[in-house]
Amino acid sequence: MESLTVDLSSRSYKINISSGIILSLGAELKTYLKRDRIWIVSDVNILHLYQTDLEKSFLKAGIELNLLELPSGEKTKSFHFFEKTVNWFLETGIERNDLIVAFGGGVIGDLVGFAAATTLRGVEFIQIPTTLLAQVDSSVGGKTGINSQFGKNLIGNFNQPKAVIIDVSTLRTLCDRQLKSGYSEILKYGLLGDIKFFNWLDFNGTDILSRDEALLTKAIKKSCLIKAEFVKQDEREQGKRALLNLGHTFGHALEAVTGYSEQLLHGEGVSIGCMLAFEVSAAMGFTSLEATKRVKSHLRKVGLKSELREISSSLPPTEKIIQEMLKDKKVNNGVVNFIMVKDIGEAFVTDEVDLSVVSNVLDASR
Ligand code: NAD
């Protein structure tokens, strides 16, 4: 087992990475419980695959398992399912000293972390991420929340989990499209702050996406280490942590205009968004065309989306996409703070991006 720590003084926690622990999860989690009851929330697709294993493992450990099945997909990160989850905790008799587990992708992790924070003013929770995206990003760092009619992730809080338990073997059942979506967030770490990691990914990316478990484990661990370091330095995103949003201002706007639907997965928005960040940076003179070309060629090599024209649904006018960007959480006094790049591995925040340049780059990508 690989293990690392997110170092946040009294809120520090371990990220354990191993393979095939679902069958012994009951025994694994027993040490965190004050009584022999546990509350696990997941989604329908995941439970279809893992419910029997979960039930067996908790029965064997003598733990009463309370299991809530939610629908899958981004629309589950809503007030409706937040209410449903919190009411279910209360209705089934949860107490403040109990433990909640988010067993699923980023949608389940974000929603359940927020529901745990607000139930009885805070019940501890553990993240067991089952998508690559959640294993390398959303389960780490304590950002939790739901979407609002005004935009994505606009309602939520910082709520660090008690632990993150990553079982790499759960990725065997994840479809290729979702695996690639998660890879975008891995790539993001190399692009924003670690050219050596980018070079390693450029060499190994195709094998990682062919599910080589040893390489996947290395990529997950490195991603978690990078994220843990950013979170340690800036837990509540007052400064440096914002760099982790490379590509996200573009990506979130694209997710919004495609209705948070299957037309564009979160990670697909991120890979296109990272490309756009390099293209806008090049057009603004912040970075070189060579760096931009290298990123594009990597995205093509591993089969990730890099252009707006690769989104299957028709997009609204560019102006509307820019309007969506203005709803971003990084807007200050009506000005968007963009994450731009000087080079591969060197991102920075600036409010000096000309929106007409952004508009031209978006037009060229359609
Ligand atoms: P997701 O949770 O919707 O999962 C994707 C799909 O994979 C779902 O259909 C799910 O049912 C299925 N699935 C999950 N695990 C599976 C498995 N092991 N085998 C087969 N199918 C499986 O999406 P996601 O990409 O994991 O997460 C996206 C969400 O994460 C977005 O809402 C995004 O905003 C959020 N996010 C949050 C943070 C953060 O810091 N909190 C960071 C990045 C992304």
Q: How confident is the model at residue 334 (pLDDT cuts 50, 70, 90)?
A: confident
* Whether residue 72 has its Cβ less than 6 Å from ligand 1: yes
Is 252 catalytic? The answer is yes
Evaluate whether 168 touches 345 at the Cβ level (below 8 Å): no
Q: How far is the CA of 288 from the centre of ligand 1 (A)?
A: 33
CA 160 vs CA 39, 79, 131, 138, 289: distances in Å: 17, 21, 19, 11, 39
- Token pair of 351, please? 């409010």
* Whether residue 42 has its Cβ less than 6 Å from ligand 1: no
Cα(284)–Cα(11) distance, integer angstroms: 40
The 10s digit of each residue's pLDDT in 220-241 is 999 999 999 999 999 999 999 9
> Exactly one of 180, 188, 222, 241 is catalytic; which is it?
241
* Whether residue 136 has its Cβ less than 6 Å from ligand 1: no
Residue partners of 52: CB distance under 8 A and separation at least 6: none
* Whether residue 365 has its Cβ less than 6 Å from ligand 1: no
- Token pair of 303, please? 């089969």
The 10s digit of each residue's pLDDT in 18-76 is 999 998 999 999 999 999 999 999 999 999 999 999 999 999 999 999 999 999 999 99
* Whether residue 164 has its Cβ less than 6 Å from ligand 1: no
- The pLDDT, as a whole number, for residue 229 is 98
Query: Crossing angle, helix 266-283 and helix 176-193, to 10 degrees?
Result: 30
Q: How far is the CA of 134 from the centre of ligand 1 (A)?
A: 6
Q: What is the pLDDT averaged over residues 292-303?
A: 98
Considering the chain, what percentage of its residues have pLDDT values greater than 70?
100
* Whether residue 135 has its Cβ less than 6 Å from ligand 1: no
- Does residue 86 surpass a pLDDT of 90? yes
Q: How confident is the model at residue 355 (pLDDT cuts 50, 70, 90)?
A: very high
- The pLDDT, as a whole number, for residue 152 is 83
CA dihedral 139, 145, 147, 152 (to 10 degrees): -60
> Exactly one of 77, 222, 227, 298 is catalytic; which is it?
227
The 10s digit of each residue's pLDDT in 103-114 is 999 999 999 999
Cα(161)–Cα(182) distance, integer angstroms: 20
- The pLDDT, as a whole number, for residue 331 is 78
Is 2 catalytic? The answer is no
Evaluate whether 136 touches 270 at the Cβ level (below 8 Å): no
Summarize the chain as % helix, strand, coil (round to 5).
Answer: 55, 20, 25
Residue with tokens 């037009």: 363
Q: How confident is the model at residue 127 (pLDDT cuts 50, 70, 90)?
A: very high
Q: How confident is the model at residue 8 (pLDDT cuts 50, 70, 90)?
A: very high
* E strands present in the chain: 2-6, 13-18, 37-43, 64-70, 99-104, 124-129, 143-148, 151-158, 163-167, 331-332, 335-336, 338-343, 346-350
* Whether residue 174 has its Cβ less than 6 Å from ligand 1: yes
> Exactly one of 222, 266, 305, 330 is catalytic; which is it?
266
- Does residue 329 surpass a pLDDT of 80? no
Residue partners of 65: CB distance under 8 A and separation at least 6: 38, 40, 54, 55, 58, 59
Is 245 catalytic? The answer is yes
- Does residue 157 surpass a pLDDT of 80? yes
Q: Which helix (H) or strand (E) holds 276?
A: helix 266-283
Q: How confident is the model at residue 198 (pLDDT cuts 50, 70, 90)?
A: very high
Q: How confident is the model at residue 327 (pLDDT cuts 50, 70, 90)?
A: confident
Mean pLDDT computed over every residue of the chain:
96
Which of 171, 254, 266, 274 best tests ligand 1's pocket when mutated (most atoms within 8 Å of CB)? 266
> Exactly one of 28, 74, 124, 185 is catalytic; which is it?
185
Nearest CA to ligand 1 atom 40: 138
* Whether residue 47 has its Cβ less than 6 Å from ligand 1: no
Evaluate whether 23 touches 51 at the Cβ level (below 8 Å): no
Ligand 1 atom closest to 182 (CA): 25
- The pLDDT, as a whole number, for residue 336 is 85
Q: How far is the CA of 353 from the centre of ligand 1 (A)?
A: 31
Q: What is the pLDDT averaged over residues 193-222?
A: 98
Ligand 1 atom closest to 141 (CA): 40
Nearest CA to ligand 1 atom 27: 106
